[in-house]
Amino acid sequence: MKKLLLGLCVLMASSFSSPVSAQTIYTFTSAGATGSNGPTQVQLDAQYNGTPLQGAVTSSSGIQIWTVPSSGLYSIEALGAQGGGSNGGLGAQIQGEFFLNGGDVLHIVVGQQGLADPASPNGVGGGGGSFVVKAPALAIGDILAIAGGGGGAASTIHPDRDASATNNGNDGLVDGGVANPNGAGGTAGSGGEKSVTGCSLDRGGGGGGFLTDGGDVCQTPGAGDGGDSFLNGADGGTSSGAGSTGGFGGGGATWSTGFRGSGGGGGYSGGGAGQINSNTPGHAGGGGGSYNIGLNPTNIGGFNSGNGEVVISPLSAPAPNNTGVNFFINPTFVNNIVCEGFSSVDAVIQNFGSNQINSLNIDWTFGGVAQPTVSYSSLLDTFGGVGNSVDTVNLGTINITGNSELVAWTSMPNGNMDTINNNDTASLVIDSVITIELDLGPDVAVCSGSFILLENLGSNQVYSSYTWSTGASTPTIITNTPGTYSVSVTYGPPQCFAADQIIVTSAPTPVVDLGPDSTYCANDFVLDAGGDGVSYVWSDGSSSQINTVTASGNYSVTVTSDEGCIVEDDINLTLLETPVIDLGEDFKLCISFNQTQLLSAGNSFSSYLWSTGATTSNIVVGSGVTTVGSQSYSVTVTANNGCEGGDEVDVEYSMCVGIDENINNSNVSIFPNPANDLVTFTAESSTIAEVQIFDLTGKMIYSNLPSSSRLEVNTSNYASGTYIVKVITENESATRRLIVQ
> Could you tell me which of 114, 145, 147 has the C-alpha nearest to residue 130?
147
Distance CA 225, CA 376 (A): 55
CA 523 to chain centre: 59
Read off the pLDDT band of 657 (50, 70, 90): low
Distance CA 152, CA 116 (A): 9
Read off the pLDDT band of 410 (50, 70, 90): very high
Distance CA 375, CA 487 (A): 42
Residue range 95-112: average pLDDT? 94
Evaluate whether 317 touches 23 at the Cβ level (below 8 Å): yes
CA distances to 39, 91, 234 from 161, in Å: 26, 9, 20
Min mean pLDDT across 75-84, 202-211, 367-376 is at 202-211
CATH number belonging to the domain at 587-654, selected among 3.40.50.300, 3.40.50.1110, 1.20.1300.10, 2.60.40.10? 2.60.40.10
Can you give the pTM of this predicted structure?
Answer: 0.55
Min mean pLDDT across 22-26, 44-48, 346-350 is at 22-26
Q: Given this chain, do its domains 587-654 and 666-740 carry the same CATH topology?
A: yes
Phi, psi of 418 (to 5 degrees): -70, 130
The β-bridge partners of 597 are 621
Q: What is the mean pLDDT of the chain?
A: 88
pLDDT value at position 652? 92
Read off the pLDDT band of 94 (50, 70, 90): very high
Evaluate whether 254 touches 261 at the Cβ level (below 8 Å): yes
Residue range 443-460: average pLDDT? 90
Distance CA 358, CA 721 (A): 146
213, with CB counted inside 10 A (0-12, 13-18, 19+), is buried
Residue range 590-600: average pLDDT? 83
| Extended beta strands in 194-262, E state | 261-262
End-to-end CA distance of the chain: 118
What single letter denotes the amino acid at residue 732? E
Residue range 202-211: average pLDDT? 87
pLDDT value at position 664? 54
For residue 710, is pLDDT > 70?
A: yes
342, with CB counted inside 10 A (0-12, 13-18, 19+), is exposed
Model confidence pLDDT, tens digit, residues 560-575: 998 888 999 999 999 9
Phi, psi of 230 (to 5 degrees): -60, -45
Cis peptide before 331 (omega within 30 of 0): yes
CATH number belonging to the domain at 323-433, selected among 3.20.20.70, 3.40.47.10, 2.60.40.10, 3.90.1200.10? 2.60.40.10
Cβ atoms < 10 Å from Cβ of 73: 24
Distance CA 270, CA 235 (A): 13
**Parallel, antiparallel, or unpaired for β 425-431 and 404-411?**
antiparallel
Domain 666-740 is of which CATH architecture?
A: Sandwich (2.60)
Helix (H) or strand (E) holding 41: helix 41-48
CA distances to 37, 270, 500, 576, 609 from 215, in Å: 18, 10, 54, 97, 117
Residue range 543-570: average pLDDT? 94
For residue 319, is pLDDT > 80?
A: yes
Distance CA 410, CA 353 (A): 13
CATH class of 444-507: mainly beta
pLDDT value at position 353? 86
707, with CB counted inside 10 A (0-12, 13-18, 19+), is exposed
For residue 666, is pLDDT > 90?
A: no
Domain boundaries in the chain? 19-318, 323-433, 444-507, 518-576, 587-654, 666-740
For residue 219, is pLDDT > 70?
A: no
Q: DSSP 3-state assignment of 44? A: helix
Share of the chain above pLDDT 70, in %: 90
Evaluate whether 382 touches 389 at the Cβ level (below 8 Å): yes
**Parallel, antiparallel, or unpaired for β 333-334 and 323-330?**
unpaired
